[in-house]
Structure 1
């Protein structure tokens, strides 16, 4: 047994792969706000790329596995994990959404864990999903999320239970993972964390099963409040051994930094600065969540130009260019007139375009996931052309698929956090070899993030 830590080690503390872009910036915000310098790369970082960021203690790699098949993950995740492991951080984090939405066929977290353990090894694989700052709570293995102050079990959540790609039909994450991996899944619950029995429970979890003596278990750790968050961080860090792989939400980042601060190894920072105001913004939204819909309605009522993408036309090759040009003309005219603009593909989960999405995809000869990526690419192209014609200081992207497409098409190489805006969606600075993109301010927002006036915050900052 190793001696207790008396300080943080030198070098990188954490390396992570984000299963989508919005989640990747969420983790970056959590670490940066705690005083851990963090950089998010869009491709595996080279030594030369890392030299641009002296003093970095956490490195992220923004990915797109949340909407991909296990076959895609098996082809793409091992080299990504290997590149991150080579950086030498003691923890390799597969960053998942705090709603844990996934399935055996799309975004399989179980598949990612199997691939990560092949790279990193370790005696156990901790999973921390609860993140009270984001209003996500895990209690006795069940995941809850709050909407407008009301907590919902994930299988009864008004949005996640009806997610168009990966609906959550099970809130018990042990059962949910059992459909994605045959690996043994254990739990350290909130009572054990609060009573000081967490280490004893982990020791019991690590006892080999009679039929699988070499099995490395997945161990879920409850997080309900600040006390359990601290104890989850203590358990992971103190029992990391030579290294661990963890499929977790940004709850892992919040837990670790909370523990490091409690130990006095990190100063308690003043927090991120507030975002300042800009004259106007452009936004694209590929999210169909009710939260995003309310934000679009608010923007429209406040004088933003809101332009809808014709999804059926976007999916048809012979109609796609005309549709993108139509949007560019209308959105460009609004920007030229001094207005801010939001281009969107859906306004809530009951939007007719959402309800007809499968039919639109079938007519175009595309699977649902292929069609979703096609819509994201269309929104990204609109944003690129708008920026080519109207060099804005700040842009917003809502939705994980859309965020990845936009960041890629703009030639962005890395992101760092500039300022706080709303939990889980910070204001970021783009780093790029293209002078016209370097320094661009981006906000990459998940569908569930932010209040109704989010676009007002994006425009006016803390005002």
Structure 2
């Protein structure tokens, strides 16, 4: 097998976000959960046949820097062994990180490994940083990241419980994470086209600038950047860049035309939503869903006291699923409530209690017949996927920008589990209900095109 693009994502929802855009661009894509063993199982080998892109999903966004680097290098080595022509390091479109990392250290480590194993060229000595995803309101201007019409540090991300973003200047943010120089490709250069952008990158490379933040205001800017960087060994960013790279691979002769790259088997089974995200977008989605559907609120303080709270959540979900569902179990809460729980339990324990509860709910209820599952939040998605023992996902069609349906084979199930892993900030207000409406089910294969 030889794949065109090998991607390393720092969380599970970010991985499906990128994979979604690759499928929309016409690439058949598989998402691997964690770094696969060198010796693939027969099922993994079969699943990889005819695949154009593989995204390895890690939980490296907020883990210790050394662990993030070790896991990312292992993923890089595996992807290069599969023949990947280009490597993509995927992080959130809001550049979620701290002053220690992990974006800078991981990018440095990937470049060093590639430089040691490839002929020194532009792609092995420099990389671009393209977090922007204009269709979802993430843009960069003069190196400053905007969420909609607000600077990053005034968008709600300043309250993130793990990676609070208090600075919108990405050149400054990244400079605190790496000992190497950070530069910028400003919008006026992009406006002059591909040749000017390549020239700017070359000039910065000659100056020893390793990391280049790229302004991006619209889809046209992404198209310019995709053509300018398609032959780099390593690119980094959000999923926006991923939607334009497939066309460049076709231009280079690396990729042929693909029919229905996102086709999945019809889904079946009960419908469940699990939400651990506390983003503004998810809080709105929870409120919208609860207006017409049943829900149970998880409380980390109650989870800490005894198992009774989790048992109550299971009993509630079972009853509502028996009535036809879909049903929501959520730990999503306003920042003040989250902060209060963290002050009592500690940030790490409060998060772990919620993740473990969501994992238990998922594994128990899927074993009892849930076949359509939505999970909101990157850490929550990681916990659920781990609890279910999922090792790979086939990427299907888009629900909302950045969020596709996927399917995962599970032991003892004839029909794979249909699973949507939603980044906290993504999706429209009606996402939880709309997702089930557009998913083809057994006996109903007509659905709204994405």
TM-score bracket for this pair, using the shorter chain length = 0.7 to 0.9
Is the 1:41–1:414 contact (alpha carbons within 8 Å) kept by the matching residues of 2? Answer: yes
The answer to whether structure 1 residue 99 and structure 2 residue 88 are counterparts is: no
Question: What are the ranges of 5 or more consecutive residues in structure 1 without an aligned counterpart?
Answer: 1-9, 210-215, 363-367
What is the CA deviation profile of residues 138-195 of structure 1, one whole-angstrom value per residue up to 9, with x for unaligned ones? 222111122xxxx2221221x2122122121111211010111111111122211221
1:77–1:53 distance in 2 versus 1, CA, 3 Å: closer
- For the residues of structure 2 that align with 1:188 and 1:69, how far apart are their CA atoms? 30
* TM-score when normalising by structure 2: 0.87
Question: What are the ranges of 5 or more consecutive residues in structure 2 without an aligned counterpart?
Answer: 116-123, 439-446
Give the counterpart of 1:83 among 78, 84, 87: 78
What is the CA deviation profile of residues 405-429 of structure 1, one whole-angstrom value per residue up to 9, with x for unaligned ones? 1111112121012222111111111
The answer to whether structure 1 residue 450 and structure 2 residue 427 are counterparts is: yes
What's the counterpart of residue 393 of structure 2?
415
What's the counterpart of residue 204 of structure 1?
203
Kindly report the root-mean-square deviation, in angstroms, between the aligned alpha carbons of the 2 structures.
2.5
- For the residues of structure 1 that align with 2:207 and 2:97, how far apart are their CA atoms? 28
Give the counterpart of 1:377 among 348, 356, 377: 356
What's the counterpart of residue 181 of structure 2?
184
Matches within 5 A, 1:345-424: 345-350=331-336, 352=337, 354-362=338-346, 368-389=347-368, 391-424=369-402
The answer to whether structure 1 residue 337 and structure 2 residue 323 are counterparts is: yes
- For the residues of structure 2 that align with 1:272 and 1:348, how far apart are their CA atoms? 36
The answer to whether structure 1 residue 120 and structure 2 residue 110 are counterparts is: no
- For the residues of structure 1 that align with 2:431 and 2:144, how far apart are their CA atoms? 29
Q: How many residues align?
A: 425
1:271–1:79 distance in 2 versus 1, CA, 3 Å: closer
Give the counterpart of 1:325 among 288, 293, 311: 311
The answer to whether structure 1 residue 162 and structure 2 residue 164 are counterparts is: no
Is the 1:129–1:251 contact (alpha carbons within 8 Å) kept by the matching residues of 2? Answer: yes
Is the 1:275–1:420 contact (alpha carbons within 8 Å) kept by the matching residues of 2? Answer: no
Question: Which ranges of 4 or more aligned residues in structure 1 deviate by more than 4 Å?
Answer: 260-280
Shift of the alpha carbon at 1:370? Answer: 4.7
Is the 1:109–1:247 contact (alpha carbons within 8 Å) kept by the matching residues of 2? Answer: no
What is the CA deviation profile of residues 57-94 of structure 1, one whole-angstrom value per residue up to 9, with x for unaligned ones? 11111111112121332443332332223222122222
1:267–1:77 distance in 2 versus 1, CA, 3 Å: closer
Matches within 5 A, 1:141-152: 141-146=143-148, 151-152=149-150
Give the counterpart of 1:218 among 196, 211, 221: 211
What is the CA deviation profile of residues 211-259 of structure 1, one whole-angstrom value per residue up to 9, with x for unaligned ones? xxxxx61122222222211110111114x2xxx2333111231231244
SS in 2 for 1:67: coil
Is the 2:264–2:407 contact (alpha carbons within 8 Å) kept by the matching residues of 1? Answer: no
What is the CA deviation profile of residues 22-58 of structure 1, one whole-angstrom value per residue up to 9, with x for unaligned ones? 1100111111111111100113234442332311111
Shift of the alpha carbon at 1:437? Answer: 8.1
* TM-score when normalising by structure 1: 0.85
- For the residues of structure 1 that align with 2:419 and 2:280, how far apart are their CA atoms? 22
SS in 2 for 1:24: helix
- For the residues of structure 2 that align with 1:63 and 1:440, how far apart are their CA atoms? 20
1:120–1:314 distance in 2 versus 1, CA, 3 Å: farther
1:361–1:282 distance in 2 versus 1, CA, 3 Å: same
Give the counterpart of 2:243 among 247, 251, 254: 254
